[in-house]
């Protein structure tokens, strides 16, 4: 049974939602990886509590991994699935 992250997840519209309730008070960084561990990109010094990433940033459907850092400390390592558009 897969339990999605409460911070980074795919919404039913297929876009990646980011939910960081205390973004104004903390220094968040997100790193994204292919399923095989290859680094894709990162978002540093995130100050928005809630925002959406366009699925086209990821170039293909499938599983992606991420690491969420709070003030330089890893607080979550998880994955999400981007479905293929029909």
**DSSP letter string, 17-61:** EEE-TTTTTS-EEEEEEETTS-EEEEEEEE--SEEEE-GGGG-SS
Q: What is the pLDDT of residues 47-85, one digit of tens each?
A: 999 999 998 899 899 999 999 999 999 999 999 999 887
13: Cβ contacts below 8 Å, ≥ 6 apart: none
- Whether 67 and 77 have beta carbons less than 8 Å apart is answered as yes
How much of the chain, in percent, has pLDDT values that exceed 90?
Answer: 78
């Amino acid at each position: 049974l897969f339990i999605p992250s409460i911070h980074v997840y795919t919404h039913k519209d297929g876009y990646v939602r980011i939910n960081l309730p205390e973004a104004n008070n903390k220094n968040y960084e997100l790193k994204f990886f292919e399923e095989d561990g290859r680094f894709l990109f990162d978002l540093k010094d995130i100050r928005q509590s809630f925002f959406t990433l366009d699925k086209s940033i990821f170039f293909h459907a499938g599983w992606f991994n991420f690491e969420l850092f709070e003030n330089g400390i890893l607080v979550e390592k998880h994955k999400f699935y981007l479905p293929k558009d029909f």
